[in-house]
């Protein structure tokens, strides 16, 4: 029996069920139970996420359940996972990455380029807000909280002309028909580890570690390692407009990253490539490169 701690949102439950199905396909005799719970991040919806403690708020209750033995694993969107985990917990498994891109959702416009001046665009992400303001300073970018269906409802009610969501989340909820444009990373570089599901567990639980390793995807793990090492070196969180995206071609890893001011007026960016075996080192090296370009100054002003 494996008990999976998960948030109660529709997308989180989909991810937990997906992990359960993947585990059972490798271990047909395995029994799996979901342990849904509401997190602080799900409850504090009246303020921007960056103002109430960041994406780590979506993990606290799940991690406490692991530490107290009320669950055996927790399933997360990797883009929500901070660089530092609580003592006694590890995140040894990531599943195959889905679409890492952001998606434009609108009832009127097919592409970002079609948005008229002063169009209202909703997103909860400082990263997306900064890149949109850099690319189209004429747009009115406003904060947007809530689960996927809540955000879509607000769009449908006319509160926004368009909203930006993670393409993977829409795909997983079979809402891909709402996607008008999968935004090229050259316009909006994805969040660190966007599109990746991760599994967290107790570091000393050898039985669970042996079971979950069967669903680990090595290629995705290499990309996530590069992106997360870059972010960790710069103190990345949802309070920081920071983006990084790695692509693996055979054994060569390509990593692009940037740091922006919240209004998009300042940006430092760069790319690097090297052996997949050096994923973490590549991330650290690119972080140092951006620091030398002025990333620390931008981050220091936040």
Q: How far apart are the first and last CA of the chain?
A: 45
What is the rounded distance in angstroms from the CA atom of residue 234 to the CA atom of residue 240?
9
Q: Which of 42, 46, 72, 80 is catalytic?
A: 80
DSSP-assigned states of every residue in 56-122: GGGTHHHHHHHHTTS-SEEEEEGGG--SSPPTTEEEEEEPPP---SEEEE-SS-SSGGGPPTT-EEE
Helix (H) or strand (E) holding 170: helix 167-172
* Mutual angle of helices 279-293 and 218-233, in 10-degree steps: 30
Helix (H) or strand (E) holding 7: strand 2-7
- 264 Ramachandran zone, left/alpha/beta (phi>0; psi -120 to 50): left
Q: What is the DSSP letter of 179?
A: E
CA neighbor of 62 nearest in space, from 96, 39, 92: 39
C-beta neighbour count of 286 within 10 angstroms: 26
Examine the residue annotation and report whether 219 is marked as an active-site residue of this protein: no
Q: What 3-state class would DSSP assign to 248?
A: strand
What is the rounded distance in angstroms from the CA atom of residue 209 to the CA atom of residue 132?
41
Q: What is the rounded (10 degree) CA torsion for 269, 248, 200, 240?
A: 10
CA neighbor of 203 nearest in space, from 65, 12, 72, 28: 72
As annotated, the active-site residues are: 80
């Amino acid at each position: 029996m494996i008990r999976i701690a998960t948030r109660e949102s529709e997308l989180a439950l989909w991810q937990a069920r997906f992990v359960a199905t993947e585990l059972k396909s490798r271990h047909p005799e395995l029994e799996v139970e979901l342990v849904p719970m509401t997190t602080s991040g799900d409850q504090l919806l009246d303020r921007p996420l960056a103002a109430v403690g960041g994406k780590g708020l979506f993990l606290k209750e799940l991690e406490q359940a692991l530490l107290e033995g009320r669950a055996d694993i927790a399933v997360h969107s990797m883009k929500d996972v901070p660089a530092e985990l609580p003592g006694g917990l590890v995140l040894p498994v990531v599943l195959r990455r889905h679409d890492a891109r952001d998606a434009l959702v609108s009832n009127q416009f097919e592409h970002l380029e079609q948005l008229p001046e002063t169009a209202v665009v909703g997103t909860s992400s400082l990263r997306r807000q900064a890149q949109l303001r850099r690319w189209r300073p004429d747009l009115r970018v406003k904060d947007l909280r809530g689960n996927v269906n809540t955000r879509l409802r607000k769009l449908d009610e006319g509160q926004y002309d368009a909203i930006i969501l993670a393409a993977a989340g829409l795909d997983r909820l079979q809402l891909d028909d709402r996607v008008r444009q999968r935004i090229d990373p050259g316009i909006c570089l994805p969040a660190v580890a966007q599109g990746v599901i991760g599994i967290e567990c107790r570091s000393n639980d050898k039985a669970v570690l042996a079971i979950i390793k069967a669903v680990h995807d090595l290629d995705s793990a290499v990309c996530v390692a590069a992106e997360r090492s870059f972010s960790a070196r710069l103190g990345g969180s949802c309070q920081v407009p920071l983006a990084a995206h790695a692509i693996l071609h055979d054994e060569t890893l390509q990593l692009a990253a940037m740091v922006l001011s919240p209004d998009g007026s300042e940006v430092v960016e760069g790319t690097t490539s090297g052996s997949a075996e050096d994923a973490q080192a590549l991330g650290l090296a690119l972080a140092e490169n951006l620091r030398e370009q002025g990333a620390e100054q931008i981050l220091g002003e936040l």
